[in-house]
Amino acid sequence: SVQNVIDCGQAGSCQGGDDIPVYAYAHEHGLVDETCNNYQAKNQECSGFNSCGSCKPDGTCYSIQTEKLYKVGDYGPLSGVHEMKAEIFKRGPISCGIDATAKLEAYTGGVFSEYNDYPQINHIVSVVGWGTLTNGTQYWNVRNSWGTPWGEQGFFQIVMDKPDYNQGIETECGFGVPTTF
């Protein structure tokens, strides 16, 4: 539950956050399922209801004690093409910071590239893989959190190993290994 992380994880707010503290929260406390605390896009206090709650048709709301928690075992930071590829190949998607520029917000398809010699990390995305075009251009496959109407069904590609053109995506990444399903 993203809302549970916002309410109780002390890893950020609706105005932003960081991935490593989310992994730490999942490691130490565990995360509840989305059905326990649906995303509401607002900052709330951490309470039993905001951790896992439900409401009856008559409007009566109550906390639910849940035994099902999703936890992270190993987690930590990584950066650079080699470390990123190794982690994705070994255990799957990683989180990475990126400078979400106006041009990226307007992305509609293709391999994204924008000159930016001093990217300011302001957004977190999931890097899920990589590829190479027939012309030799290497790129990252990335899932964004802006929903399926954005980009290519919520995904985009961005040039790999070109620091002045990939919005800092290779500089501040993290991984978290789920231990409970």
pLDDT reported for residue 170: 98
Predicted pLDDT of residue 181 = 58
The torsion angle over the Cα atoms of residues 151, 109, 18 and 101, rounded to 10 degrees, is -100
Pairing of strands 72-78, 173-178: antiparallel
Nearest residue to 158 via CA among 71, 83, 99: 99
Cα–Cα distances (Å) from 108 to 97, 112, 142, in that order, read: 20, 9, 13
Share the mean pLDDT of the chain: 93
Residue with tokens 């501040």: 172
Of the candidates 22, 35, 142, which has an alpha carbon nearest to the alpha carbon of residue 72? 22
pLDDT for 108: 96
Average pLDDT, integer, range 57-68 = 88
Most confident of 33-47, 52-66, 71-85: 71-85
Q: Is the pLDDT of residue 132 over 90?
A: yes
Of 3-12, 23-32, 96-105, 157-166, give the lowest mean pLDDT range. Answer: 3-12
pLDDT at 180 over 70: no
Nearest of 118, 127, 112, 17 to residue 80 by alpha carbon: 127
As a three-state string, the secondary structure of 68-131 is CCECEEEEEEECCHHHHHHHHHHHCCEEEEECCCHHHHCCCCCEECCCCCCCCCCEEEEEEEEE
User: Of 31-45, 111-125, 131-145, which gets the smallest average pLDDT?
Assistant: 31-45
Half-sphere exposure of 126 (CA within 13 A, CB side): 11
H helix or E strand, kind and range, residue 3: helix 2-8
